Amino acid sequence: MASIRDYNVVEQFNSRLEEIRSKLLDQAMGEVLNDTAIELCQQHRHYMTSVMDTCIKKSKEDESMFESIHAYKEDLKERTAVLKEKKTRHIEVESEIEDKKHHKELLIQRIEKFKKGQVKNRELIQSQNKANKDRLKKLNICKDVFQKHLSLEIRKIQGEKLQFVFRNISRKDPDIVHAFLLRLDAEGVYHIISCDPPLEKMAHLELRLQETNNFPAFLANVRREFVALYSGAKK
C-alpha cells in the first residue's frame, strides 16, 4: 500500500476527487438546468397561450370593430342616399310650390281682370239698358203720335222685335197693310229684319237711322216710301 504522502498518490487522489466533483457538479447542474428548462418551457407555453388568447381576442375585437365600421359605412351610405332623395324631393316640392304660387298669382290677376271686366260690362249693360229705355220711351211717344196722325200700329213680336204696321197708305184701299220688322241689339243699334212690301231705299234709310238715331224721321221717310209705291213719286 502506497503511502498517502507519495506525491503521485496525492495527485491521483486529487484528480479523482476533481473528476467526482465535476461529475457531481455536472449532474447537479444538469438537473438544475433541466428543471429550469422545463420551468422556462412551461412559462413560455403559458406565455404563448396567453399571447394566443390575447391575439384571438384582439382579432375578434378587430373583426367586430371592422364589422361595426362596415355596418356604419353602409348605414351612412343609406342615410346619405335617403338624405339626397329627400333633398331632391324638397327641391321638387319647392318648385311645385313656386309654380302653384305663380299660378295662383296669375289666377288672381285673371279674377281681378274678370271682375273689372264684369264691372265694365255691368256698367255698359246698365248704360245700354238706360239708353234702350230712353229709346223705348221715345218709341212709345212716337207710337202715340203716329198712331193718331199716321194710322201706325206698333206690335211687340217674340224675340224683342217690333213690327210697325202702316195703314191709309193707298187711297183706293186704306186697309192694305204695309209693315216692317225692327230689332234693337244690345248696343242699341237699330236693324231692319224684313219689309213688306219691299222698299228699294230701305237699306239706305236703315243706315241713316243708325247714323242719326232719329227714329221719328225714319218712320216718316218709310211711310213716304210706302206712299210713293202708289203715287209713282219716289224720293
Q: What is the 3-state secondary structure (H, E, C) of 153-167?
A: EEEEECCCEEEEEEC
- Model confidence over 60-118: pLDDT tens digits? 887 888 788 888 788 888 888 988 888 888 888 888 888 888 888 888 898 888 888 88
Domains of the chain, earliest start first: 136-231 (3.30.457.50)
Rounded to 10 degrees, the C-alpha dihedral 52/57/62/67 comes to 130
Q: Give me the pLDDT at residue 218, please.
A: 95
pTM of the predicted structure, to 2 decimals: 0.42
**CA dist 40 → 30, 45, 71, 156 (Å):** 15, 8, 45, 138
Q: Which three cell numbers stand for residue 101?
A: 304660387
Q: Are 208 and 201 in contact (CB under 8 A)?
A: no
Residue 234: which pLDDT band, with cuts at 50, 70 and 90?
Answer: very low
